[in-house]
Amino acid sequence: MLALHATDPATVYLSVAARTADPAPALLEQALYEDRSLVRMLCMRRTMFVVPRDLAPVVDASTARAVAARERRNLLKVLGEQHGHGEAWLATTENAVLAALADLGEGTAAQLADAVPALRTQISVSPGKPYAATPRITSRVLGVMAAESRIRRGRPLGTWASSQFRWTTAEPHPDLDAEDARAELAAHYLRAFGPATTDDVKWWTGWTLTDTRKAIARTGAADVDLSHGPGHALPEHLDPPTRTEPAAVLLPGLDPTPMGWRHRDWYLDPALVPELFDAYGNIGPTLWWNGRIGGGWAQRPDGDIATHALTPEGRGNEAQAAITVEAARMATFLGDIRIRPSMRTPLERRLATS
């Protein structure tokens, strides 16, 4: 794996649990909040990921800096248009946040808004629409500062599945050359997801086509023919893969594996997309059998794991027996924790309430 998708905090833990025989949330929490061997970042495609600390500077230079710059420009535009505030006002507010964190050690968004009155400034969102709102700029300012690695999300309130984080100061990433970083990230991507097409790499990273082509060219990847078009493979992937035994896996919504490629037909029947994806292209919880998506799953309010196979292979006796075992393992892992994906899909909704 290359990175853990972290838009939903629970996905980080569920993705690890699906791939380990004896998952321990406490060890993952230690890596995230104590050892900091894993770093939570807003990066590829303006998406939250958890990446290894050694890779974080590469991700920062190759993708996160550009995302952070866009976030800052967008925030300044809103502040300027609605309040007449500019860069000086925002800089003063950010310095006040850093001073408050120096005093508090860590703090929630609400605590920081109490300490820094400027964070309570309200903005108008979607005026005239049924969903119009006037939220505070607290989350926008903190989000920009986090994207620039000036602050970071600490341990959440409540359980590991909570999305309410405490904030604390962060150390800036080393300053790497952006072009070198893109080449290194492309190599990491192909090592984890290759063979893959240029379009796959471009989609996953969010780069321009020119930057994507340049980065791939520097990886040493060979040109290969894939079932859905020309692609690229690192030298170690040119030999036929080792055959593995069929296995059942329950992956969470937005898991990094199904979100790893732009082209998915080789492991996902296109006819299943309406059931497993939301209207914006986000995948929900998926049920895998023998390396392909065969259905979906959901957690019910009582903690039970409901599964539903959508393909003939997934409904076979061997597959169903393995799925039952894996569903029971996932229910045991979750215990008293209750989860609900932020991007809900038709199948997940039905299973969760059935």
Task: Note the pLDDT of residue 8.
Answer: 94
Which residues face 232 on adjacent strands? 196, 223
What confidence score (pLDDT) does residue 224 get? 95
Domains and CATH numbers, the chain: 36-169 (no CATH), 178-237 (1.10.10), 248-348 (no CATH)
In the predicted structure, residue 242 carries a pLDDT above the cut 90: no
pTM of the predicted structure, to 2 decimals = 0.93
Query: Rounded to the nearest 5 degrees, what angle is found at the Cα of 255, between the Cα atoms of 106 and 197?
Result: 120
Q: Given pLDDT bands bounded at 50, 70 and 90, which one contains residue 36?
A: very high
pLDDT at residue 227 in the model: 86
- Percentage above 70 pLDDT, the chain: 100
Of 252, 248, 244, whose CA–CA distance to 319 is shortest?
248
pLDDT band at 116 (very low <50, low <70, confident <90, very high): very high
Taking only Cα atoms into account, the Rg of the chain, rounded to an integer number of angstroms, comes to 22
**Mean pLDDT within 204-216:** 97
Confidence of residue 110 (pLDDT cuts 50, 70, 90): very high
- Phi and psi at residue 92, to the nearest 5°: -65, -40
Q: Could you tell me which of 3, 1, 15, 2 has the C-alpha nearest to residue 253? A: 15
How far apart (Å, rounded) are the C-alpha atoms in residues 248 and 311?
Answer: 13
- List, for residues 50-87, the tens digit of each pLDDT value: 999 999 999 999 999 999 999 999 999 999 999 999 99
| CA-based nearest residue to 291, from 311, 260, 316, 268 | 268
C-beta of residue 250 within 8 angstroms of C-beta of residue 327? yes
Beta strands 4-5 and 48-52 are antiparallel
Q: Are 302 and 353 in contact (CB under 8 A)?
A: no
Residue of 123, 145, 118 lying closest to 136 (CA atoms): 123
Average pLDDT over the chain, rounded to whole? 95
**Contact at 8 Å (CB) between 250 and 322?**
no
